Amino acid sequence: MLALLLFVLALGWRVYQLVRSPRLPNWAVTATIAAFTAAFLFQQKGISDWFDALTAPGGSRLANNVLLACAACALLIFFHGSALGAGHVRRVLLELVPLAAAVVLMFVATAVTPVPLRGAALSPANVHVSGIALFYLGAGLYLIYAITACVWWIARYQRTADRHLRTGLRLAAAGLASASIGSTFRALYIVVAWAFGPAVPTLLLLGVPFVILGSVLFLAGISYPGVRARFSALGHRRRRRDDLERLAPLWTLLATAYPTIVLRTPPGGVRDRLAVHRRYYRRVIEIRDGLVQLSPYLDTDFAALTAEDPAAAAKALRRALDRHAAGEANDGRAKLVLPGGASDLESDVRPLLALSAAVSGKDD
């Protein structure tokens, strides 16, 4: 159930990303997780029995391995599409050739396997059956090829990735490497049994934990950047909401004096009223507009005062508002109202937050 939950969460996240940006890399990685999820379901006894009864004996085993091969191919196409770009579609499509060969081989191997043995596990009793050995060897060799190629691409790509994406790539690479080792043990089990006669079950047993560990690490790796970005976005949203409330006292003063600074919400703009980030940007713009309109009434270097002494700036602001309310004459020249040199919005808003806090304290 835990593994299924991980698969479903990862698939849901990728579908969300695909809807937002339906490009080849997103299609490929979504197909990868969808195929892995479907392959996992076909491994469950209730589903496998139902599918065998619906199709033919061994149908679920064939579907499981075909889906695993498709998942590995889609992942490889993802790396090709990300690294080579849209101009190398032909190179990307070439990856379908070995996939098609592996799938055809699995179908042929299933067809030549006696019906009672189709879908049988790769046990010491069955490893010498030609159809079973050919089926698992073909599926395993393709997985080794595709997974090893993906690990190579990850090792190449992570050099240029940012820190958080690099962490996810390393986890995914470790998972794929582990799965490749597990597939290699299974292939060795078949080769040794056919080359020397006796089966060595230890090789098969060694491969199982590597495959399980690899699946978990791979899912964790491909999900990590997106999950971390989501948590980071939630934290950013919370900070914006707090700042929105902290700016309210200053905004209220200026909006009362200059109602025209309040930007209109377009008809039906529900998202505009609800989106924290958008409301935050609007409030900052409205406050700056209000300060610029009030600046002819300011009788001091308001920008410097805001940076050095927000409390004194709040008093100067109130004096200017009183002059505006009284209709006093002014020079009509807009003045600098905020410190210059800010490199981003957060730096630009910081003095406004200090000024709003000072205004709020004055009100108290």
Q: What is the pLDDT along the chain (364 residues), one digit of tens a residue?
A: 666 666 677 677 667 667 776 766 677 778 888 888 888 888 888 888 899 888 888 889 999 999 999 988 888 888 776 655 555 667 777 888 999 999 999 999 999 999 888 888 888 888 888 899 999 999 999 999 999 998 888 888 777 777 777 888 888 889 889 988 998 998 999 999 888 888 888 888 888 889 888 878 887 887 787 778 778 878 888 888 898 899 999 999 889 988 888 887 655 444 544 588 888 888 888 888 988 888 888 877 888 888 888 888 889 889 888 888 888 887 777 777 776 655 567 777 888 888 889 888 744 4
8 Å CB contact between 263 and 285: yes
Q: Mapping DSSP to helix (H, G, I), strand (E, B) and coil, where does residue 50 land?
A: helix
Q: H or E element: which one contains 344?
A: none
From residue 235, alpha-carbon distances to 10, 60, 112, 163, 239 in Å are: 21, 44, 58, 19, 6
Distance CA 61, CA 120 (A): 8
Distance CA 203, CA 184 (A): 9
8 Å CB contact between 210 and 185: yes
- Tokens representing 222 are 């491909």
Distance CA 112, CA 106 (A): 10
Rounded to 5°, the CA angle 168-171-175 comes to: 140
Residue owning tokens 């050099």: 159
Residue 315 burial (C-beta neighbours within 10 Å; 0-12, 13-18, 19+): middle
DSSP letters, 110-133, are HHHS-GGGTT----TTTTTSHHHH
Distance CA 257, CA 295 (A): 13
Q: What is the pLDDT of residue 104?
A: 95
Distance CA 256, CA 355 (A): 17
Q: H or E element: which one contains 176?
A: helix 163-196
Q: What is the pLDDT of residue 265?
A: 66
Question: pTM of the entire structure?
Answer: 0.66
From residue 25, alpha-carbon distances to 14, 37, 92, 131, 300 in Å are: 11, 18, 11, 36, 57
Residue 108 burial (C-beta neighbours within 10 Å; 0-12, 13-18, 19+): middle
- Tokens representing 194 are 């056919």
Q: CB-hemisphere CA count at 13 Å for 278?
A: 11
Distance CA 287, CA 125 (A): 79
Q: What is the pLDDT of residue 4?
A: 66
- If phi over 0 gives left and psi between -120 and 50 gives alpha, with beta otherwise, what is residue 58? left
28-58: buried (b, 16+ CB within 10 Å) or exposed (e) per residue?
A: bbbbbbbbbbbbbbbeeeebbeebbeeeebb
8 Å CB contact between 328 and 297: yes
